[in-house]
Amino acid sequence: MDKVLIRGLRIDTVIGIYEWEKQIHQTLEIDLDMGWDNRLPAANDDYRHALCYETVSKRLTALVQAQPIELIETVAEQIADCLLSEFAVPWVRVQVMKPGAVPQAQAVGVEIERGHR
C-alpha cells in the first residue's frame, strides 16, 4: 500500500483536562500516514485521483478546532474517523503530540492505527 504523508501539521486549539488549559490555546503537532493507491494519479499526472494533502490539512484543522477537547486520544480517534469516512483512505496512522505538556519532555503524545474492517 502506498502512503500519502503529512508531517508536523500544527493546529492551535483548546485542549486539556485542567481548568487553566480550557482558557488558552495550545498547539498540537500531528503526523499522518494515509494509505492511498498512488499509481493512477502518477500514471496520468492527474490531481483528480490524488489524495489532496491541502484539503486534508484544512479539514482536520477545522475538525480539531470545532470544539474544546480534553484528551489527545480523542483528537487522534476523531482524525482517524474523519480520514476513513470522509476521504475514503483504507488505512491511517495518526500521531498527535502535545509539546510542552510535561516540562521534562519535549512533547508527549499518542499514536493510533485504524483501517476499514
Q: Where are the domains of the chain?
A: 3-115
**Per-residue pLDDT at 81:** 98
DSSP 76: H
- For 3-115, the fitting CATH number among 3.30.360.10, 3.30.1130.10, 3.10.20.30, 3.30.2020.30 is 3.30.1130.10
The residues carrying an active-site annotation are 98
Mean pLDDT computed over 31-51: 95
Q: Report the share of the chain in percent with pLDDT over 90.
A: 95
Rounded distance, CA 40 to CA 8, Å? 27
**Per-residue pLDDT at 116:** 82
**Per-residue pLDDT at 117:** 65
Mean pLDDT computed over 78-86: 98
3-state secondary structure of 100: coil
28 pLDDT exceeds 90? yes
CA distances from 38 to 2, 4, 82, 111 (A): 6, 8, 20, 24
Q: How confident is the model at residue 1 (pLDDT cuts 50, 70, 90)?
A: confident
**Per-residue pLDDT at 34:** 98
